[in-house]
Chains A and B, each alone.
Chain A
Amino acid sequence: MATPARSPADGTPGREHPAPATGTTTFPQTDGAIPGPRSDKRGFLKDLLGLAAAAAAAAAPAPQAQAAIGDQPRRRPGIPGKRFGMLIDLRKCIGCQACTVSCSVENQAPIGQFRTTVLQYEIDKGDGSAPAMVSLPRLCNHCDNPPCVPVCPVQATFQREDGVVLVDNERCVGCGYCVQACPYDARFINHETQTADKCTFCEHRLEVGLLPACVESCVGGARVIGDLLDADSEINRRIGARRDDVKVLKPGMNTSPRVFYIGLPDEFVDGIDGQASVRLVADH
């Protein structure tokens, strides 16, 4: 579960964060229409709070103080020249949980905790037709504007230039702030390491040219990982072929997720308004 910090380039955080694949590639802009955080009323609040904090921060020696509160810190080096993303084609997911199992085998998350899993729903249209099933694979979205990264008080969680969001669990203090900040419930406090844990896109496998465990084990070929900067990559070709049907989860959160879904019903985009399952509480 150790997600090693690769060359901890604790450099000066920049106000800008490196531009993602936008513009030069066939990158889906499903969330592009959402106004930036500085343009709405939350931007005002942020500025207000930032003003107050500036007074507090001014007292402390802060060589990096040019980064405003909440800004993304500079990304750290990753696999050069790439920006990883994942496409999940729900039409091909049969809800077999092979990805859940293979991820648990590969990454050894504690029993009852998951870096990826497949949520399952029944949809009853109420018109007498047979209920439909939706299987929704979930994992870290490796967002382009990850809200979990700037809140980390010790820079244990960080994003690489290839887009992968990681946790240095030897630095993590287990404060849980990133778990709160993630709008997708993608993070958890690992019961064994007592630190924040999450999907790493199996970066240790990507580095040696392998596929993430969940992608490799997907029986329907529903999960595709690839380089969003490469216009000819399979992920870009498949996104391009279904451009109008590509969605991300919670686009209004302004996080620019880099896990895309094909075949996601509109009712599932912003959260479930429905009947809850009986949730079993795992003791640990």
Chain B
Amino acid sequence: MQIIELLTPHYEAAWLPWAVQYFFLIAMATGAALAAAWGTWAPAGRPPAKILPLAVVLLLVTAVAAPVSLLADLHQPARFWHFYAHFTPWSWMSLGAVLVPIFVGTSLAFCFAWWRGRIGWMRALSVPLAIAAAGVVVYTGAEIAIVRARPLWNNPWVPVNLALTAWLAAVGAMLILSLLMPAGDDAAIRAWLGRLGLALSLALLCVAAAWAIGGYLMQTPSFEQAVRLHADFPVWRISLRLSAAIGAIVLLMWARPRLWLHSRGLSLALGVSVCAAAWAFRWALFMGVQGVPKYGAGLYVYRMPLGGDGLMGILGIFGLCVTMLVLVLWGLEKWPQREGAGLRSA
């Protein structure tokens, strides 16, 4: 028996590309925050301490740009204050509305403390910063994972994948920053970032394998839907194979640092690839999965508008990041960070 749809309405994506940008940037910010908190306690001269300037600059840029795209994803952005006037502790998104300002505020305070060279302040702030970052990781993951209506979101691996891909992107972004900042002149830093990237990539591989094996053995709804999408739709098949190929190349690069460590071009390419992969994962997770019908057949085609709800929104947020990065790097040249005990200059 074959069922053919004759007449169905067009169901739109309720979450716009702004959501992809938000989840990409805020999660990268949590990676930068954890790296910065670690660096505060690491012995001076060791790579985790040496990457502090890179982590701080990344944290500053992403922690400021992320809430901008979050606000833009609301269809009524001017009503953001309703989150605080009608606090709803049983909704993950409402908890997020409390956690995000705490995280951004702590991040800005930490960046300021670093700039003033106050290692004492930094150490005092590192604990709340790490806790706030963990809170953001938990809320962003849980917000997606509790949506039972979408099997591809409703599984416990999604939050883990979101966290690992984002921290990998943070490593990639710090690799890019190492080419732009004096603190990155030391090849040992890039080599250490490479080892961190390898560890995160292997963890990601394990998580993907656990999801697939567990899904195959238990026939979980998310695995079943993924198999069906892979079998039925070339766009999902091509995306999966492409990401597997890129993942394999990235793993090879992490495992063979000699290939890229002394080449600015290849270091840049590796950093950009890792960031792009984390971004593309979010695109597939949000825009792709919103195109999977909850009831109907086939796929809902997402046609990206060129304006603020689509392409310009995506480019605008990246533009904001680049502008902020340029301003921060220029500012650090003009008003350098103060040398504090145990801190090295940017």
Q: Chain A residues in contact with chain B, CB under 8 A?
A: 10, 13, 37, 42, 45-46, 48-49, 52-53, 55-57, 60, 62, 64-65, 67-71, 73, 112-114, 117-126, 133-134, 147, 150-156, 171-177, 179-185, 187-189, 194-195, 249-250, 253-254, 267-268, 271-277, 279-282
Contacts of A45 in B (CB 8 A): 145, 155-156
Contacts of B135 in A (CB 8 A): 55-56
Whether, in the assembled complex, B335 has its beta carbon less than 8 Å from a beta carbon of chain A, the answer is no
**At the interface with chain A, which of B52-60, B257-265, B288-296?**
B288-296
Q: Is the CB of B297 within 8 A of A274?
A: yes
Across the interface, A174 reaches (CB within 8 A) one of B74, B95, B145, namely: B74
Name the distance in Å between B297's Cβ and chain A's nearest Cβ: 4
Q: Is the CB of B138 within 8 A of A49?
A: yes
Across the interface, A117 reaches (CB within 8 A) one of B9, B75, B83, B299, namely: B9
Contacts of B7 in A (CB 8 A): 118-120, 277
Across the interface, A175 reaches (CB within 8 A) one of B10, B74, B142, B299, namely: B74
> Quick one: which of B135-151 are within 8 Å of A by CB?
135, 138-139, 142-143, 145-150
Contact A188:B89 (CB < 8 A) given known A125-B1, A195-B75:
no
Q: Closest B residue to A10 by CB, please name it.
A: B86
Whether, in the assembled complex, B80 has its beta carbon less than 8 Å from a beta carbon of chain A, the answer is yes
A-B contact pairs, 14 of them (CB 8 A): A53-B95, A53-B138, A57-B89, A71-B90, A112-B9, A114-B9, A119-B8, A122-B4, A133-B6, A150-B90, A171-B82, A268-B3, A274-B4, A277-B298
Name the distance in Å between A97's Cβ and chain B's nearest Cβ: 9
Name the distance in Å between A184's Cβ and chain B's nearest Cβ: 7
Contacts of A179 in B (CB 8 A): 14
Q: Is the CB of B300 within 8 A of A279?
A: yes
Contact A42:B9 (CB < 8 A) given known A180-B14, A275-B3:
no
Q: Chain B residues in contact with chain A, CB under 8 A?
A: 1-12, 14-15, 73-76, 79-80, 82-83, 85-99, 135, 138-139, 142-143, 145-150, 154-156, 290, 293-301, 303
Q: Is the CB of A126 within 8 A of B89?
A: no
Q: Is the CB of A275 within 8 A of B145?
A: no
Interface of B is mostly: loop
Q: Is the CB of A249 within 8 A of B295?
A: yes
Interface of A is mostly: loop
Q: Closest B residue to A56 by CB, please name it.
A: B135
- Of the candidates A45, A46, A64, the one having the most CB atoms from chain B within 10 angstroms of its own CB is A45
Contacts of B154 in A (CB 8 A): 42
Contacts of A68 in B (CB 8 A): 90
Q: Is the CB of A67 within 8 A of B76?
A: no
Contacts of B2 in A (CB 8 A): 123-124, 126, 274-275
Across the interface, B138 reaches (CB within 8 A) one of A56, A120, A177, A273, namely: A56
Contacts of B1 in A (CB 8 A): 123-126, 267
> Given the complex of chains A and B, what is the CA–CA distance between A124 and B303 in angstroms?
31
Across the interface, A154 reaches (CB within 8 A) one of B89, B94, B149, B301, namely: B94
Name the distance in Å between B196's Cβ and chain A's nearest Cβ: 24
Q: Which 5 A-B pairs have the closest CB atoms?
A: A276-B298, A174-B75, A274-B3, A176-B14, A179-B14
Q: Is the CB of A189 within 8 A of B75?
A: yes
Contacts of B93 in A (CB 8 A): 151, 153, 175, 177
Q: Is the CB of A277 within 8 A of B5?
A: yes
Q: Is the CB of A154 within 8 A of B99?
A: no
Contacts of A173 in B (CB 8 A): 74-76, 79-80, 82-83
Q: Is the CB of A147 within 8 A of B95?
A: no
> Given the complex of chains A and B, what is the CA–CA distance between A153 and B7 in angstroms?
34
Contacts of B83 in A (CB 8 A): 153-154, 173
Q: Is the CB of A195 within 8 A of B294?
A: no
> Given the complex of chains A and B, what is the CA–CA distance between A173 and B290 in angstroms?
20
Contact A46:B146 (CB < 8 A) given known A150-B91, A155-B88, A272-B296:
yes
